[in-house]
């Protein structure tokens, strides 16, 4: 079986327990205005072009085909994404095996990796058989059946709860959060380890009301081990132009440290571990 990925990051320490190899899968059902991985949005293999790196040598012709990227001497024209066979990917994962220790392993991220649930399930099955831990970083915006396919092999789910209000959620991500929250409840009932991740985005969810509502959702669940608040950053904004896309969020927006501290206290008061 093959899957479509756009990156493999080695020695990740923010994508689950321990040291991990993170595999970024292509395709996402959400369109979060602040997204810092725009290359994960489309499930198609794309060309990215950096005007800054371009030598204007003309070797790439019209820059229309994937094969044009091979002609570029300056890495200005690149292919974003590739199909990979499950065995080939697992061979890549195994190369890092000696660094995982008792907690580390592989994390599937994206995009939304569960849009390719059969592929992910197949690779984490191999990981489990090999004694590696597996984590899945998901928006939860997929049919429950897609999550279910991974339950037997996944050790920990990194689950995004972006905001509680369905209207605001739709406004900023393109979808409402009903399915996401229903899936989260179901996942919690299975007893699987869950790490909640909440981006803190100015103008979207950076209010006491919204963060309190997220904390209330977390309080109602059974198997959440921790919550990570992730303050907005604009690191991925440059990638949009290279992909012929427009970054629609305000890249200069900042979340003051004081505000994050206040938001963390909302979780601490409910005895929720927050990072």
For binding to ligand SF4 (CB under 6 A), which residues are involved? 54-60, 71-72, 74, 76-77
Q: What minimum distance in Å lies between the beta carbon of 76 and ligand SF4?
A: 4
**Tokens 């790196």 sit at which residue?**
53
Q: What minimum distance in Å lies between the beta carbon of 238 and ligand SF4?
A: 16
Residues 116/83, Cβ–Cβ less than 8 Å: no
Rounded to whole angstroms, how far apart are CA atoms 220 and 4?
Answer: 36
Q: What minimum distance in Å lies between the beta carbon of 72 and ligand SF4?
A: 3
Looking at beta carbons only, is 72 or 224 nearer to ligand SF4? 72
Looking at beta carbons only, is 24 or 49 nearer to ligand SF4? 49
Q: What minimum distance in Å lies between the beta carbon of 82 and ligand SF4?
A: 19
Instruction: Name beta bridge partners: 194.
Output: 157, 224
Residues in contact with 261: Cβ distance below 8 Å, sequence separation at least 6, in sequence order:
none
**Tokens 């003051």 sit at which residue?**
256
Residues in contact with 199: Cβ distance below 8 Å, sequence separation at least 6, in sequence order:
32, 34, 160, 162, 205, 230, 231, 232
Q: What minimum distance in Å lies between the beta carbon of 55 and ligand SF4?
A: 4
Looking at beta carbons only, is 70 or 88 nearer to ligand SF4? 70
Q: What minimum distance in Å lies between the beta carbon of 157 and ligand SF4?
A: 40
Q: What minimum distance in Å lies between the beta carbon of 75 and ligand SF4?
A: 8
Looking at beta carbons only, is 56 or 145 nearer to ligand SF4? 56
Of 136, 133, 137, 150, nearest to 96 by C-alpha is 133
Rounded to whole angstroms, how far apart are CA atoms 26 and 11?
Answer: 21
Looking at beta carbons only, is 72 or 201 nearer to ligand SF4? 72
Looking at beta carbons only, is 57 or 186 nearer to ligand SF4? 57
Looking at beta carbons only, is 47 or 163 nearer to ligand SF4? 47
What is the DSSP secondary-structure string of 13-28? SSSSSSSEEEEEES--
Show contacts of 256-264: CB within 8 Å, 24+ apart. Answer: 259/200, 259/206, 260/200, 260/229, 260/231, 262/208, 263/200, 263/206, 263/208, 263/211, 263/229, 264/229
């Amino acid at each position: 079986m093959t899957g479509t990925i756009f990156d493999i990051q080695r020695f990740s320490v923010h994508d689950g327990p321990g040291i991990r190899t993170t595999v970024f899968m292509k395709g996402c059902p959400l369109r979060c205005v602040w997204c810092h991985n725009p290359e994960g949005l489309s499930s198609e293999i794309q060309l990215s072009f950096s005007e800054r790196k371009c030598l204007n040598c003309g070797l790439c012709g019209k820059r229309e085909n994937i094969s044009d990227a091979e002609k570029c001497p300056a890495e200005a024209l690149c292919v974003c994404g590739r199909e990979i066979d499950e065995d080939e990917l697992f061979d890549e994962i195994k190369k890092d095996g000696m660094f995982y220790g008792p907690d580390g392993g592989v994390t599937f991220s994206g995009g939304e990796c569960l849009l390719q649930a059969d592929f992910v399930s197949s690779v984490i099955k191999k990981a489990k058989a090999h004694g590696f831990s597996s984590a899945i970083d998901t928006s939860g915006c997929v049919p429950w059946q897609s999550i279910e396919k991974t339950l037997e092999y996944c050790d920990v789910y990194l689950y995004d709860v972006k905001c509680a209000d369905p209207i605001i959620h739709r406004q900023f991500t393109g979808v409402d959060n009903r399915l996401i929250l229903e899936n989260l409840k179901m996942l919690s009932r299975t007893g699987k380890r869950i790490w909640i991740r909440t981006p803190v985005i100015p103008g979207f969810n950076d209010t006491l009301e919204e963060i309190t509502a997220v904390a209330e959702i977390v309080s109602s669940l059974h198997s959440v081990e921790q919550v990570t608040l992730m303050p907005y950053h604009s690191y991925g904004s440059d990638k949009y132009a290279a992909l012929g896309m427009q970054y629609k969020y305000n890249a200069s927006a900042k979340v003051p440290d004081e505000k994050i501290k206040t938001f963390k206290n909302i979780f601490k008061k409910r005895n929720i571990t927050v990072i």
